[in-house]
A = this chain, B = another copy of it.
Amino acid sequence: MLGILGGGQLARMSTYAAHRLGIPVAIIARPTDDNPASHVTHRTFLGDWSDPALLEQVARECSVVTLENEFVDPKALAWLEAKGVKVHPSSACVAMVQDKYLQKCALRDAGLPVPRFAATDTVADVVKAAETLGWPLMLKCRRLGYDGYGNELLRTPADVEPGFQKLARRGSALMVEEFVPFTRELAIMVVRRPSGEEAVYPLVETVQHAHVCHTVLAPADVSARTQARAEAVAREMMRAVGGTGIFAVEMFLLADGEVLINELAPRPHNSAHYSMEACATSQFENHVRAVLDLPLGSTAMVVPAAAMVNLLATQAGPPDAKGLADALKVPGATVHLYGKSASRPGRKMGHVTAVGSNIREVRELALKAARCITL
């Protein structure tokens, strides 16, 4: 049995992939969360991820444990490892990656391209860092940030005090990074088995609206040099952090074609949902294969172009996916709904992927299908 920590859409889609390979799946989820992944398997452990009784039960039934969410206590993962459960990514890796400062240190120390950064425990530290990093500055929570939550752009020295106070309330230590004048945002997935086999997905372009991934275009329209550089960076990153399973590397593309690593996600990622329809092996299947140490499948695209558009809720209440029938009529588009029990504005409720012969066409098709659906 494969155990997955977390019960959201990434766990749900990983579960589909495991089931197709005949692998039983247990979802390990918090009762306070909406857990749509628990609807697609017959085994769910509900409880706190750090509760020894829960972990005991997980260790008894699951030989391998992975996660859909890096914000788990690495001590819980270490406890499972000590019980002989194979945990991918490992507790040590997760401990490093979930702290953006430690993550960036590891990447920098491995010679990988990252924005300049500094840990900042006080307002004075931020002011001091600005002397080196310049303005504007990105102030970030070291932990628990996602989709723009936990980041604050500081444009002038006057922004430091209020920005620091705002983020400090989130309960995480803070850090700053230089502001990167990127031209586009890119992402690439890399997957690695514990025994070493590794594969990289095509580089994609991600388009954010209000800090949330809105559209993904695959492949990214970049030079062969940028594609090769991104692949090399992704592979080297896995060694730098000791990654197993699938990881996303979010990158900034600079005007000169160079890339800088923005952030890592040690798990399946929104930017690779397109792989379900557009690649020989989806990110979810390769993640499952990797954590079970099974041979990886081809990551090549099987269509010339794909576009993914997220379906974000616009209202609160029970989701009824109005317009689904219209969306299903759009040729080349595949609709995914996550089965969440409640909408709230901005919540990811599903996505649409369109495949076709060129990026312009598939972006139009994916947007057309996505616009049909109100959640």
User: Could you list which residues of chain A lie within 8 angstroms of chain B, going by C-beta atoms?
Assistant: 12, 15-16, 19-24, 38-42, 44, 280, 289, 294-295, 297-298, 302-303, 319, 321, 324-326, 328-329, 331-332, 335-339, 350
Contacts and interface: CB of A to CB of B under 8 A. Distances in A.
B337 A21 contact: yes
A313 to B, nearest CB: 13
B328 A22 contact: no
Given A20-B16, A21-B335, A22-B339, A328 B42 contact: no
Given A42-B39, A44-B42, A19 B294 contact: no
Query: 3 closest Cβ contacts across the A-B interface?
Result: A22-B337, A295-B328, A22-B339
A275 to B, nearest CB: 14
Contacts of A42: 38-42, 44
A24 B41 CA distance: 11
A336 B350 CA distance: 25
A131 to B, nearest CB: 52
Contacts of A280: 332
A40 B39 contact: no
A336 B31 CA distance: 32
A12 B319 CA distance: 25
A343 to B, nearest CB: 12
Contacts of A326: 295
Nearest to A296: B328
B16 A39 contact: no
A328 B20 contact: no
Contact of A39 (B24, B38, B297, B337): B24
Contacts of A23: 339
Given A324-B294, A325-B295, A40 B19 contact: yes
A318 B145 CA distance: 45
Given A294-B328, A297-B328, A328-B295, A339 B39 contact: no
A20 B276 CA distance: 11
Given A21-B324, A302-B303, 15 more contacts: A16-B19, A20-B337, A21-B337, A22-B319, A22-B336, A22-B337, A22-B339, A22-B350, A39-B42, A42-B42, A289-B328, A294-B328, A295-B326, A295-B329, A298-B331
